[in-house]
Amino acid sequence: MYANRAAGTAYVLPFIFGLAAFTLFPFVASLLLSFSDYQLQDPVSTASFVGVENYGAMFADRTFQKSLGVTFLYVFVTVPLKLAFALFIAWVLNFRLRGIGFFRTAYYLPSILGGSVAIAVVWRYVFAGDGLLNQAFEVFGAAPANWLGEPGYAMFSIVLLRLWQFGSAMVIFLAGLQAIPEDLYEAARLDGASPWRMFTSVTLPLLTPIIFFNFIMQVVQAFQEFNGPYIITGGGPLKSTYLLPLMIYEETFKYFNVGYASALSWFLFVIVALFTAVAFWSSRYWVFYAQERGEGK
């Protein structure tokens, strides 16, 4: 740590300025709006204060309850799976194989495509009633399922979409793996460590700051997932894929209920903040930062 606080403040200054100039007003405004009945088609001046009415209405709203439920399901399923995938593939792609560059690019491509039309079309082909997946099932003698039309199954298609787009998490893990010095592996090998032992004693501990980052970010992004439901299922069928960000978007731009949408957003914020806070608190037990390690082992 450097002692010069003034320099430190100087480094952080752009953020403070940005906070004050660009972030503070929208944040505060949206928080205030959540206590109002502001409708988007009216001028802001007509909004009136309604206290916690929006929040109360939220908990009585059947659609909200359903949306919250499917959002939690989505997060709990996709986050661990995606982290595991991304770490595994990053590990695989960390080697000096010939042409590894092509593979890395290929594995990152799904993320580049983002919410593009091509994904929507291909996903439909794969998951439609007469689509590829069902055809493959029939070949193997399994019964085809109504992936897009059945409320229980539609979630599967958007979970898979998220898992398929693991590229960003993978890249971050890759960067993290790269940051582990070779000589540590050398030392471990000289000590006679097996490959698995090297992974658990050298790689994982040193990777924990990155795992921590990815974990937090994946949780946050999973809670904020919008594209998948929007383009693949439209939130259906029967709201079974109606994730909270989609509900917020529709409340804002379809129903013009900005006050209510703001309340939903801030409620989501609180939930995610709680998760994050717990994660940060737990990090002292399992995340190892370099300077706290003393001797690199």
Partner 1 sequence: MNVAVLASRATPPATGTTGEGRRTLQLVLRYGVLIGVGLLMLYPLLWMVGAAFKPNREIFDSIGFWPQSPTLEGFVEGWRTGTEHTFGTYLLNTFEIIVPKVIVTVISSVVVAFGFARFRVPGRRVLFALLIATVLLPKSVLLIPQYLMFRELGWLDTFLPLYVPAAFATEGFFVFMIVQFMRSVPLEMEEAAVIDGCNSLQVLLYVVVPVIMPAIISVALFQFMWSMNDFLQPLIYLSSVEKYPVSLALKLAIDVTEATSWNQVLAMSTIAVLPSIVLFYAAQKYFVEGITVGSVKG
Partner 2 sequence: MSGKRTRRRPNRAAAGIALALLPLALLPLALLPLALRAADASYATPPPQPVELRMSWWGGNEVHRAQLAAIRRFERRHPHISVRTEYTGWIGHLERLTTQIAGGTAPDLMQINWNWLVLFARDGRGFHDLESLAGTLDLRQFDARALDMGRVGGRLNALPAGMAARLFYFNATTYAKAGLRVPQSWDELMAAGPLFRERLGPDYYPLDLQFMDVTALARSWYVQRTGRSLIDEQAQRLTARVEDMRDMARLYQRMVDEHVIPGARERAAHGYVAPEEMRPWIDGRYAGTYQWNSAIGKSVEKLAPGQKVVLAPYPLQAGARDAGLLYRPAMMFAINRDSAHPHEAALLLDFILNDPQGVRALGVKRAVPVSRRALQVLAADGLLAGLSWDGVRQVATLPNVVRESGYFEHARVRDGFIDIFEELGYGRIDVAEAGVRLHEDVNRILDRVIH
Interacting residues with partner 1 between 127 and 186 (CB under 8 A): 131-132, 164, 168, 171-172, 174-176, 178-185
Identify the residue among 129, 137, 255, 293 touching partner 1 (CB under 8 A): 293
**115 sits near partner 2 (criterion: CB under 8 A):** no
DSSP state of 65: H
Please state, as a whole number, how many other Cβ atoms lie within 10 Å of the Cβ of residue 281: 9
Touching partner 1, residues 101-130 (CB under 8 A): 101-119, 121-122, 125-126
The structure tokens listed for 100 are 């590894």
Q: Which is nearer to partner 1, 47 or 145 (CB)?
A: 47
Amino acid at 275: F
> How big is the site for partner 2, counted in residues (CB under 8 A)?
38
Kindly tell me which residue out of 127, 166, 266, 267 binds partner 2, with binding defined by CB under 8 A. Answer: 127
Closest CA to 221 of 172, 288, 281, 179: 172
* CA 127/CA 134 separation, integer angstroms: 7
Among 66-74, 76-84, 151-159, 211-219, the segment contacting partner 1 (CB under 8 A): 211-219
- Rounded Cα distance between 297 and 295, Å, is 6
The footprint of partner 2 on residues 33-62 (CB under 8 A) is: 40-41, 43-44
Minimum distance of partner 1 from residue 48's CB (angstroms): 17
| Residue 5 interacts with partner 1 (CB under 8 A): yes or no | yes
d(CA 297, CA 294): 9
What 3-state DSSP class applies to 205? helix
Cβ nearer to partner 2, comparing 20 with 142: 20
Whether residue 110 has a cis bond before it, omega within 30° of 0? no
**C-beta atoms surrounding 268 within 10 Å:** 18
| 8 A C-beta contact, residue 95 and residue 179 | no
Residue of 185, 170, 159, 24 lying closest to 105 (CA atoms): 170
Interface with partner 2 includes 128 (CB under 8 A)? yes
Q: How far is the CB of 235 from partner 1 (least distance, A)?
A: 15
Bridge partner residues of 36 (DSSP): 49
Binds 175: which of partner 2, partner 1, none (CB < 5-8 Å by kind): partner 1
Within 72-101, which residues bind partner 1 (CB under 8 A)? 88, 91-92, 94-97, 100-101
Task: List interacting residues with partner 2 (CB under 8 A).
Answer: 4, 6-7, 9-10, 13, 16-17, 20-21, 40-41, 43-44, 123-124, 127-130, 146-151, 231-234, 236-239, 253-256
